Every structure is written in C-alpha cells, then in structure tokens.
Amino acid sequence: MIPFKKSSVLNLKIIFLFLCILPFFLLTFFARPSADEFPFFTQLSSMSSLEFASSMYKNWSGRYFSVFFVSIFLKLIVYWKGFYPIFIFLILVANFFSFYWMIDKLNFTNSKKEKLLLTSSIFIVYIYGMPSLAEGFYWFICASGYMLINCFVIFWTGFLLEREYKIDNSKPIFRENLLIIFFTFALCGSMEIISSFVVGLIAVVWLTKLINTKKADNFYSFLFLFAFFCFCFSVFAGGNSIRGTHFESLSNPLLILPKLIPNSLNYIFYWFFETPVLVFTLFYLPFAQKIVTRSPFDFILKVNRFWVLLVWIGVIFGSFSIGYVSIGGELPMRINNIVYFLFLTGWFYVVSVFVYFYINENSNPNYSSDFSIFKNASVFTKLIAPLVIFLFLYKENNPIRAAYADILKGRAYNYAMQLDDRKTLLLNCKSDTCIVPVIKNPPHIIYEPALDLTTDSNDWKNKSQAVYFGVKAIKVE
C-alpha cells in the first residue's frame, strides 16, 4: 500500500474540519429577527443610530459602544430584512478570521495550511462547547453585540503583543498605541464581563511589569486609568441603574458562593469532558512546541506558569460571579457563551506556557522529538484520536450532527418559511388579536423558544411585535 504524503494527510484534515464547520455557515441564511430586535426596529424607524444609542444609554444600558455599533446594522436591517442573515454570516466569518489572524500573527510557521488547520480545530471546539448557538450566532443582537466583541478582544490582545514585540526591537509603536486605546474604549463600552476582563488584564500586565522591572510602566498606567474611566462611564450609566431594577441583585457577594462554585464547576467539567477540548489539546501540543521555539512573540510565555494558571481560574470564576452579583442568579446562555470564549482561549494560552516551561527545563538539544507521538504516524494519531473524535461526533447532542440534521431534514428551511408566513399574516391582520401558528418541528441549532412569541398577548415579546406590525395584540394559537 502506498502511504499518503504528509501534504495529502494535512489536506484531508482541513477538508474534514471544513465539513464540520460548513453547516453552521449555511444555517445563518435561515435565521430571522426575534425578541427585542422588533422594539429596536420600531425605535430606529424614527431616530438615528446616535439618538438610539443615547436613549439606550440613559434608559436601559450603559454599553455605549456596542449599542451604537449594533444600531448601525439594525438601521440597515430596518430598510431591508434581507441584510439580517447576511450580517450573521459575516459575523461568523469575522469570528473565524479573528482566530486565524491571531494564529498568523504568532508567525510560528510559514505553512498557511498548518495555520488553517489550527484555526479550524480551535473554531470547532469553540462552536462545539458553546452553551447556546441560537443565542450566540443566530440572534443578530447577540451576534453583533457579543460574538463580534469577542473578535475585538482578540484584535486588542494581538496589538498588545505587537506593541511589546516592537518595543523589544526598537521599532515605532504609535500605530499600535492608537489601536490599543481604540479597542480599549470599545471593549469597556460593551459587555460588563468583557470590560471587567480588560481592566483586570491591564492591571495584571501593569503589576507583572512592575515586579519584573521594579518601576511602573507609563503606558499601562495611562491605559489602566483610561480603561477604568470608560468602565465606570458604562457601569454607572443611568440606563444601567434602570435595568438593574428588573433584577434581584445580591448586596452581599458572599451569598453567591454556595451557588457560584458548583455551577461554575459544572460548566468547567462539561467543557473539559463533554466537548473535544482535551482531545484537541493533544493535537495542539506540536503547534505549541513550534510557537514556543519559533514565534517572535515567545516573550508572552516567559511568565510564571502557576501565576498564569491562577489568573485564568480567576477570570473564569470571576466571570461567572458577575452574573450572581448583578442579577442575583445564573448567567443567561448568551453570557455563558462569552465565559466559554474566555475559558477556551485562556486554556490554550495556559497550555502554551506549560509547554514553554517543560521545554526550557529540558537540557536535551534534540528535545523537538518529544512531542512526536502527536506529530508523526502512531497508534494515537491513526486510531485512538480519530476514534475519540468520531465518538464526540456521534453523540446525540453533538451540535455538528444537529446542524447537518437541521439542514438535510428541512427543519431550518421550514422554520424560515413559517416565520415569513407569520410576517405576512401579521401585515394583513385586521382583527383586534392576531393569532399566529406555533412553530412546528423547529431546528435545534438556530431556534431558541425563549426568544419566540408566546400564548400570552401581554408578554413583552408579543407586545413589541404588535407595535412593530401595527396591530393591537398578538398571541400564539
């Protein structure tokens, strides 16, 4: 038997991962507006994006950047609803591109196929473990106000790395400084979890530099003060105070511990053992080795591994705790999606730091062969790893399997047609209470019941759509 060439095996891996990702991109074209997008459509029909953002800042949310940013796209959707699935598709593309952009910037290999393989692998794990894809990518407000902000986090981190690299090589850093300040402004005016993460990470970097150099870094001192000001400008907005009255926040943070710790551990154990995180971590080890030994940004790995591990754990538990303190209970799925993003990206960074320590502790000059079990042909790469991966793909609640089923069994298409029929019915409804049919056989990936209309005409979702369509009341039969 003629063995496969290395390039052929690499091509097959990329094709396999592409087929795993493909259905999620196809499903974007079956997504339709839902929930609070309708009251936003109503408001944006009579005001500009700036007026809308100002109104939201004063009356509902202090997220000054993400609200304005999202309103620009919502304004376009008001004029043509066909933009809705297109924008969601582009946001999914942007998320994939941001992962590739960061991996490419690490510059640990000249092979675009290797970078594409690593990007696809991490992206698959990212999609696989998301608590709710419907509230992540297929609900436009969340996709643009949450998932797109994840891309900003990656770009912000990348420009921080590039700035440090240029300083070490005595190169101009004016461009990086401006971009870092802009993304800091944007991120601190978005989700509370992300703004807290940005302020906290800047503080950690500032403290690390202070310990290493015995003096305060002027740029990070300024950046911390600027980020903290933006954070306060968002958190203490009048809109946040009004929104806070809708939740039962906890005045004593210690009361959250009995619920926070077991709930957080449940998610962490689920992500480690019910998703392919650990399997793909083994595949990541050869890439980590190349990053450690070849990347010009290896300086980010020259830190205490236990300090990095402690910070990562603190970020995860701190992110979960924000929900309990602010709303008095567990975070909604759309926020847990963000916690998973921080969990996953932080995990691969922690692994890289430990690989760096392991390599530099070994004095063997031929150390590069130590990860050969994951890189060369072996029982692991030929049999065990593919078997484990296919077991994950076979699981009944596997999102890749569900995404293909939604497309091939017509559930996604029928869902889109049912919502289009609802729209036609409401536009032509002449009665006091418009009765719409319930969604039958909905798709598993893009449909979230909590975002749909209910049988109660006084439900806020029903009332907002009634205003939008110009009818007195709406309810589901």
Please, which residues bridge with residue 299 across strands?
Answer: none
- Quote the CA–CA distance of 87 and 145 in Å, as a whole number: 12
Least confident segment among 236-245, 309-318, 416-425, 465-474: 236-245
Q: Is the pLDDT of residue 361 over 80?
A: no
CA 72 to chain centre: 21
- Quote the CA–CA distance of 148 and 132 in Å, as a whole number: 16
What does the pLDDT average to over 154-169? Answer: 93
CB environment 395-411: b (16+ within 10 A), e (fewer) = eeebbbbbbbbbbeeeb
Judge contact between 98 and 75, C-beta under 8 A.
Answer: no
Judge contact between 413 and 26, C-beta under 8 A.
Answer: no
Q: Is the pLDDT of residue 250 over 70?
A: no
Rg of the chain on CA atoms, in Å: 24
The residue assigned the tokens 């490419």 is 104
CA dihedral 326, 330, 331, 337 (to 10 degrees): 150
Residue 126's pLDDT is what?
Answer: 94
Judge contact between 456 and 27, C-beta under 8 A.
Answer: no
The residue assigned the tokens 């593919």 is 386
Q: Render pLDDT for 45-61 as a digit per residue (tens, 0 to 9).
A: 888 989 998 888 888 88
Residue 254's pLDDT is what?
Answer: 63
Structure tokens at 16: 């396999």
Q: Render pLDDT for 60-106 as a digit per residue (tens, 0 to 9).
A: 888 899 999 999 999 999 889 889 999 999 999 999 999 999 999 99
What does the pLDDT average to over 321-341? Answer: 81
Judge contact between 179 and 159, C-beta under 8 A.
Answer: yes
The residue assigned the tokens 């998320």 is 95
Greater model confidence, 198 or 287: 198
Please, which residues bridge with residue 433 across strands?
Answer: 473
Residue 186 CB coordination number (10 Å): 22
What does the pLDDT average to over 457-463? Answer: 91
Residue 144's pLDDT is what?
Answer: 92
Least confident segment among 270-279, 287-296, 393-402: 393-402
Greater model confidence, 383 or 271: 271
Q: How far apart are the first and last CA of the chain?
A: 63
| Torsion angles phi and psi, residue 379, rounded to 5 | -60, -35
What does the pLDDT average to over 329-354? Answer: 90
- Quote the CA–CA distance of 344 and 294 in Å, as a whole number: 23
Tell me which H or E stretch contains 474. Answer: strand 473-476
Residue count of the chain = 477
Greater model confidence, 477 or 410: 410
Q: Render pLDDT for 102-119 as a digit per residue (tens, 0 to 9).
A: 999 998 888 898 899 899
- Average pLDDT for the chain: 86
- Quote the CA–CA distance of 40 and 32 in Å, as a whole number: 15
Helix (H, G, I), strand (E, B) or coil at 476: strand
Structure tokens at 471: 């009818």
Q: With bands split at pLDDT 50, 70 and 90, how would you rate the model's confidence at 212?
A: confident
Helix (H, G, I), strand (E, B) or coil at 437: coil
Structure tokens at 387: 């078997």
Most confident of 233-242, 309-318, 402-411: 402-411
- Quote the CA–CA distance of 36 and 468 in Å, as a whole number: 11
- Which residues 6+ apart lie within 8 Å of 134 measured at CB? 445, 446, 447, 448, 451
Residue 393's pLDDT is what?
Answer: 62
- Quote the CA–CA distance of 426 and 127 in Å, as a whole number: 35
